[in-house]
Each structure stands twice: as C-alpha cells, then as structure tokens.
Structure 1
Amino acid sequence: MSGTHSATRQRRAAILGVPVRLTGPLAIGFLAAAYLVLWLVARPEGEPLTRHLGQLFGGESVLLMSIALVLISTLPHVELGFGGIDYAAIWHRRLAIAGALLLLPHVELASNPQATALGKALAVPAAVGLAALIVWAILPRWRTMLPPAVHGAVLRTRETWPVKLVTRVLGGYERWRGFHRLTGLFVAAGFFHGLLDATAFESTPVLRWSYVVIGGVGLGFYAYRELVARHFLPHHDYQVDEVRTVAPGLVDVHLKPLGRPLNFRPGQFAMIYLETQDGWQRHPFSISGAPADKGIRITVKALGDHTTKLPEVVQPGMPAVVSGPYGRFDRLTGTARQVWIAGGVGITPFLSWLRSLDGELNEAVDLFVTSSGRSPFADEVQAIAKAHPRLAVHLIDTTTGGRLTPQHVLAAVQADPRELSVFMGGPDPMLKEFRRAFRAAGVRPANIHREYFHWR
C-alpha cells in the first residue's frame, strides 16, 4: 500500500470511522443518565415520590425529544458525531419513540392540584401530536416490529375498506414529511406545559433552569432548521438528462449540472428534489455514479411512495435541485482486507466505489452481489474486476443458488475475521442477520459498516 493512500486511510478512519460514530450515542446516554441523577438528587423536600417520578419522566421525555430535534438539524457536526446523517436520523427516530413512551408513566404518575388551565390545555396537543407522529412513522416498518406469525393477518386487514381509507387519507412520504415538520411545535407545547405545571420547579431552581436550557436548545435547533437552514445549506441546480429502466422496478436517472456541480465522495448520498408531473418531490438517494462523471447518477428501486411511478412522471429536461452530500459510507475507513455485500438495490454505493476506481485497488476485496435473478449490473461489475486483480466478485442468483448466508461469505473469504472490514448494503433484516453472525465469528464491531437507506 502506498504511503499516501495509507495516510489518507488513517486520516479518514480517525475522522469518519465507527469509533467517532459511537460518540453521539454515548453522549446521549451520558446526558440522559446525568439528568436522571440530577432529578433524584435535587428532589424537593416534601415532594411525594410518585409525583416526583412522574415529573422526572416528563423531564426525560423533553430531553430525549430535544436531542431528537438537534439530530435532524442537518448541521455537519451532528453528522460527524454519528458517522453520517443516516445514523443520526436512525437515532432521531429511536429517541422520539423513547421520549413518547416516557409520556405514559408521566401521565399516570405526575399530578399537580394547582395545575394551570393553559398548562393542561398544552398537554393534550403535545401528547396526541407526538403519539400520532410515532405511530405514523413506524407503520411502514410493521414487518420488522411484529412477529412473522401475524403478518398474514395484517396483510388481510390492509385490504379492508377502513384501512384503505386511512391509507388514502394519510398519503405517502410527502404528506408524512409535512406533518413531521410539526414535531417541534408538539415538543414546544409539552415543554411549556412542564414549565407551567411542574411542582418540582417551584422550590428547586436547578431543575427549572436545566429544564429551560434543555428545551430551549432543542427548540432553538428546530427553529434553525425550519427558518434558517435553507438559507445556508448549499443547493445545486440540475436537469434530468436521462431516465433509463435497467430492470423491472429498477431505474437509472442521470442528472446534469446547470451550474456548480455537487462535490461528493463515492458512497455518499444526496437529498434530491425532482420536479415531476405530480409536482415537486423530495427523497434521499444514494449516488451510484462516480465524482468524475460531473453529473449525478442515481439508481432507484420501486420501494413505494413516488419511486414506483418514477419512470412515468420524470422525463428528460425536468429540473432538479440537489443538496448534500451526506453519509460517511467510505471504504477508505476499512482495513486492507475487505468484504462488500450488496443485496438488491443496496448495490448502489458499491457501484459508486467501483466506478470511481482510478488506478490500483490497494485493498483485497471480495464483493458479493445477491439478487433475484442475474444482477443487471453483473457484466459491468465483472468488467471492472478484470481490471483490478485484487477484486473478487461473487454473483449470487437467489432463484437458482439459494440465498447468501454469512457462513457462505466467511467460507469464501477464508481470512482471519479479526482482520476483516465488512461493508453492507441491502434489506434491513438481511443486514441485521449478517451483523450478528459476523460479530459472533470474530469480526470487530468497529469494522462492520452498513448503509441505511430506509431511514427517511
């Protein structure tokens, strides 16, 4: 390995690697634990324990919700602390769900005989709005949250007219995103409810002012994102150059820049606003092309929402606006012995890596491409492999050879798991299974990387 390449790898590993990705969650855990201890230590004299615990749960809920608002602020430092905006978005959802669940014991235990009328009025929209957001957010992921035994019953229920009516009213991603932007308003209602009615604040200034700081920070980040961020985030004007179907349900969209192009690293994704025949639509897409292409190439699978109708509603010449880039899925953070696993449309960041190879490939790489039927990119991938002897390609057609398993990967690679770096993209259940198996086999957790593309 060349000295320059080694230095680049070490620099990116220090800045972008998994240890950095852990700093965000660790900081969240520390803050939640510290706030819990503060409430327990600073319990006012004479305050009933049950009431105090109920108000403690409310304070922790505001803390988690405020952190969730910080995580979707799109600030670069937030992305750095979590190893990518996709990981920050995953933690945003986790914290929002946890914060909403804490409202249950808060409502049950907290009480204030002298509660203000305004405080009680604010509690209702806060609780109902946050609960609606959480339910709406997890509905598309019901398969991962319910046991397989009930999947058939759920699918039959979805075909009934009441459920179809609710689905039509709720709409798709765009309507959910519009409602999701109200999150900060619901958190603000809950914050002011606590400020007005928490009995612990009357005699304990440290609890009051720590609560004010926590809620103020979260709401400040929310106001920044909604009112200010759009004026500072760079946006790039593009135009649809080509829309090409590469396989049933799989479309390549080529965008050409109309001004200054987006600078990105292979493996990153962008937020792309497309003007379609149904109006402007927004979605995060992994970039499957190379930076040297000047334009942007995305490969889209019909996974729902407007992506299903993309070939019909997007035509050459239509404008597009691109913001970003985002994500830190970078092969240069890995070791010298790597495994790349691409399941279905999860191949997109790997296509960007492959199409960006310039000169020697310094790592020894085994690439596993698994798909139902022959991968539409098989010929291109094999042609690239011929030019790079250190790249071994394994094409798995699940219709004839069965599905790929972690055991198949480890047997084919025949390397010390402790020296491996694994990069994965594909369906969430598959990647969870592979992660567990690789960790059990001895692959270091810090060397297991994955791309989240179902984070919305």
Structure 2
Amino acid sequence: MIAGAAIANAACSLTLRPPNTVGHLRQIIAELFATTAVILFAAALVLATRARFLEPHFGGMDRMYVAHRRVGQAGFVLLAAHVATIPWTLGSPGGTPSGLIAFAGITLLVALAIGPLSYGTWRRSHRLIGVFFAISFAHTLLVDQASRTAAVPFAILIGAYVVGIAAFLYTVLVAPFGRPRFAYEVQTVHRLTPTTAEVILRPRKHRRLTFTAGQFVFVTFRQHGLREPHPFTISSAPAEQAIRLTIKASGDYTSRLRLTLRAGCRATVEGGYGMLDYRTGGPRQLWIAGGIGITPFLSWLRDMPDDNDRQITLFYTVRHVDEALYWEEVRAHAGTHPGVRVHLNVSSKSGTLTAGHVLEAAGQDCITDVYMCGPLPMLDSFSRDFRAAGLPSSSIHFERFSFR
C-alpha cells in the first residue's frame, strides 16, 4: 500500500513533468526524493495514530509499528538525498530557511531516537516529528519547484501533506480521548521473582475492557514516575473480571514499576490490540514461549474451551528453572486438555532450544501453524530455521514487541 503510493508518485513525477523542465533533470530528481519522503513521513504519521481499522492490513499493531519505523527511516534517507542533490541556485531563497529548519529538526530527532534515551524521553521527543513535517510544508509552498506546474504530482504532494498533518493533529489532540480507553485500579502487585511481577487490575466503573485472548494493551499508571503508556500482554482470560499483566523488569521503566507500583494506583487501559490468535490456525499447532513470552499462551490456555479439538505442543524455554513462571498451572491446563502437550526447556541445563528439537518432538510433517512469543533474537532465529526446514512463512506467527 505505502510502496504503491511511493511508486505511483515516482511514475507521475517522471512522466508528467512539464516540457520546460527538461533541462533541469537534477532538480526533478531532487524533488522526487523530497516528494517521496513526504509520502513516507505522512504514512508514518498515519501509522502512529494506532488506528485499529489498519491492523488487519498489516497483520497486527506490532507490525504497524515496524512499518512505521521502516517508512520513517526510508523517508529520512530520501530527505537527506534531497538536501544533497537539490541545486540550491535554482531554489527560491524564501523557502530555504523553513526547509533547513525542518531538515535539521528531523535529523536531530533521528539522532536522539538511536541514542541512549529512556522510552519516555524518546516518546515525547518523537512527537515533534509532526511539527517539523508541518514546517516542511511551508518550505514546499515557498520554494520554486519544477513540478509545481505539473498538476498531478503537485496534487499528490499536497494530499500527502494534508493526510500527514491531519494524522498528527489527530494523534495529539483527538486520540487521547477517542481511543478505546478504560478506567482501572491496581488491585494487587505480586512480585513473583527478583525480575518479574504480576499486576492485577480491577475496573473502576461498570465499563470494562473487552479483548481477545492473547492481545495486548497500553497501560498508563497514574503514579509518579510511571505516567507513560507502555504495552503489556494480557495473561488473563477475557471472561475474568480483572485483568492480569505479567511484567518483566527489562528496562528503567519496568524495573521502577516492579519496585514502586502500589495497590490502589489508578490506571488507564487502552486496547486490546494485536492479532495473534491460535483459533485462526490449523489443527496441529506448535507454540514456543521464551521467558516472559509465556503470557499470551497463558491467556489462551485460561480461555481454552473444554472441547478444544486442536493438537497443540507447547515448548516453554527459560534460562533457569526458577524463571519458569506459572509452569505448574501450564501443566495443569495440559492435564485437563488432552490435545495439549507441554515441554519445559531449561537452557542452563539442557542447552539452547532449537527448531530442530521442537520439530522432532512435535512431528514436522504434521505441523500446520507455529505461534511464538519471546525475545526478538529468538523469534528471528526460529523463523529462519523453520523456513529452512520447509515451513511456509504464512504458517509462522509471532509479535514483535519493539515500539521504538
């Protein structure tokens, strides 16, 4: 979809340029870099709205964020190429200051994004991309463009600006009130291990979150030092009144949350998001959980009907045995569902779990779908090995929890 818009823009820019610009090929190419960058930045701003109707087109909110990051990166590369190739002597000096401000601002934000910023600082600074995008619109209106007299390319450019700025304004002004948000309160904080905690949230009003087992939510805790939305997978079943989140201290924020979050703290829950759902898969499934990645599988097991007819093999891999959260409960679910088999792999004793191990145990020829959740290196490694073993990419499902 996004690539199609960029290709259509390039085709129009190169084939519909005015006759009097034939001698200015360098300027045409430089402007093509710029207009394509605008389209990509506009797409990134649309994806940042977290509009739920877009999820099916990308395969889930996590992949929307991956697309957001990639098109933003590509947009910046094209913007830099535009600055490097534009023949400044042909440009109108009236547009140059705004263009330089926009480029400098976006460059600074990109540099900050790859720097050692906390999630909260990055998130707040990242929003300024929309401001510099709007400033670049002023540059577009002020500078002399060779393509200005080409109606179709110029209309595409203006349309991209309108869509991008509208998406930015929606994200800043409307989305905080229009997204599916629910009022909750921290009922209990169970500190399960030195690095993990289970947070139980109860609804403060009659209206409570409805979600599909395996989905995740953005939660904002109304407590000093924790007032920024973070994504967490729900580990409880949809039928439960309370929401259970199992959170690992993997950064400054989550470490602080585990140590300081108190019962009675109010919370805003937004969601549910995500499209990881075993019920859309085939009859013989392989589930792989790495560490805290057991959470969506817990939600599935807690929600699984008694008449489940799927044959499911779950591998739960941890470094040390005391990190195997809820293992006894997982085994109990397997005991009540004859079609579910579970295996625990403790890598410090048994070695690293590999695709070969799980396919041998589950029976490669019978597997219809693979579902995974865990660290990104693990997901990438298993995906690569499963494809090499002959499993089609369409049968391999996982979520990438990387929102930066």
Q: TM-score range by the shorter chain?
A: over 0.9
2:27 to 37, 48, 51: 51
| Alpha-carbon contact 2:249-2:258 (below 8 Å) kept | no
For residues 56-80 of structure 1, the C-alpha deviation after alignment (integer angstroms, 9 at most, x for no partner) is 0011000100011111112222122
Shift of 1:203: 2.3
The residue matched to 2:19 in structure 1 has which SS? Answer: coil
Establish whether residue 429 from structure 1 lines up as the match of residue 390 from structure 2: no
Partner of 1:407: 356
Q: 297-306 or 200-209, which moves further after superposition?
A: 200-209
Q: 112-121 or 213-222, which moves further after superposition?
A: 112-121
Distance 1:49 1:118 in 2: 22
| Alpha-carbon contact 2:196-2:258 (below 8 Å) kept | no
Shift of 1:117: 4.1
2:185 to 239, 245, 259: 239
Runs of 4+ aligned residues of structure 1 deviating over 6 Å after TM superposition are none
Shift of 1:44: 2.7
1:120-135 to 2 correspondences below 5 Å? 120-135=96-111
Distance 1:125 1:348, change over 3 A: farther
Partner of 2:4: 30
Consecutive unaligned residues of structure 1, counting only runs of 5 or more, are 1-26, 140-166
Partner of 1:207: 153
Amino acid at match of 1:252: E
Establish whether residue 398 from structure 1 lines up as the match of residue 398 from structure 2: no
Partner of 1:185: 131
Partner of 1:288: 235
Partner of 1:97: 73
Distance 1:266 1:60 in 2: 39
For residues 283-308 of structure 1, the C-alpha deviation after alignment (integer angstroms, 9 at most, x for no partner) is 11111111122111101111113101
1:251-400 to 2 correspondences below 5 Å? 251-259=197-205, 260-278=207-225, 280-374=227-321, 375-400=324-349
| Alpha-carbon contact 1:277-1:313 (below 8 Å) kept | no
Distance 1:78 1:125 in 2: 32
Consecutive unaligned residues of structure 2, counting only runs of 5 or more, are none
Q: 91-100 or 173-182, which moves further after superposition?
A: 173-182
Distance 1:65 1:278, change over 3 A: same
Establish whether residue 439 from structure 1 lines up as the match of residue 366 from structure 2: no
Distance 1:242 1:118 in 2: 60
Shift of 1:224: 1.4
Shift of 1:193: 1.6
The residue matched to 1:88 in structure 2 has which SS? Answer: helix
Distance 1:183 1:333 in 2: 37
The residue matched to 1:69 in structure 2 has which SS? Answer: helix
The residue matched to 1:365 in structure 2 has which SS? Answer: strand
Amino acid at match of 1:336: P
| Alpha-carbon contact 2:217-2:269 (below 8 Å) kept | yes
Distance 1:198 1:56, change over 3 A: farther
Name the structure with the higher helix share.
Answer: 1
For residues 139-193 of structure 1, the C-alpha deviation after alignment (integer angstroms, 9 at most, x for no partner) is 4xxxxxxxxxxxxxxxxxxxxxxxxxxx5xx4x1111111111121111122332
Amino acid at match of 2:215: Q
The residue matched to 2:289 in structure 1 has which SS? Answer: strand
Q: TM-score, normalised by structure 2?
A: 0.95
Shift of 1:114: 5.2
When the two structures are aligned, how many residues end up with a matched partner?
399
| Alpha-carbon contact 1:200-1:207 (below 8 Å) kept | no
| Alpha-carbon contact 1:240-1:253 (below 8 Å) kept | yes
Shift of 1:270: 0.7
| Alpha-carbon contact 1:112-1:199 (below 8 Å) kept | no
| Alpha-carbon contact 2:17-2:147 (below 8 Å) kept | no
Shift of 1:232: 2.0
Distance 1:79 1:385 in 2: 32
Distance 1:307 1:80 in 2: 29
| Alpha-carbon contact 1:276-1:313 (below 8 Å) kept | no
Amino acid at match of 2:4: F
Distance 1:440 1:399 in 2: 26
Distance 1:285 1:416 in 2: 34
Amino acid at match of 2:310: E
The residue matched to 2:220 in structure 1 has which SS? Answer: strand
Shift of 1:46: 4.0
Establish whether residue 416 from structure 1 lines up as the match of residue 392 from structure 2: no
| Alpha-carbon contact 2:190-2:199 (below 8 Å) kept | yes
Partner of 1:41: 15
Q: TM-score, normalised by structure 1?
A: 0.84
Amino acid at match of 1:201: S
| Alpha-carbon contact 1:253-1:298 (below 8 Å) kept | yes
Amino acid at match of 1:452: R
The residue matched to 2:227 in structure 1 has which SS? Answer: strand
Establish whether residue 110 from structure 1 lines up as the match of residue 86 from structure 2: yes
Distance 1:357 1:218 in 2: 42
| Alpha-carbon contact 2:291-2:318 (below 8 Å) kept | yes
For residues 363-392 of structure 1, the C-alpha deviation after alignment (integer angstroms, 9 at most, x for no partner) is 111101000112122111111111111111
2:175 to 205, 212, 229: 229
Establish whether residue 64 from structure 1 lines up as the match of residue 40 from structure 2: yes
| Alpha-carbon contact 1:266-1:356 (below 8 Å) kept | yes
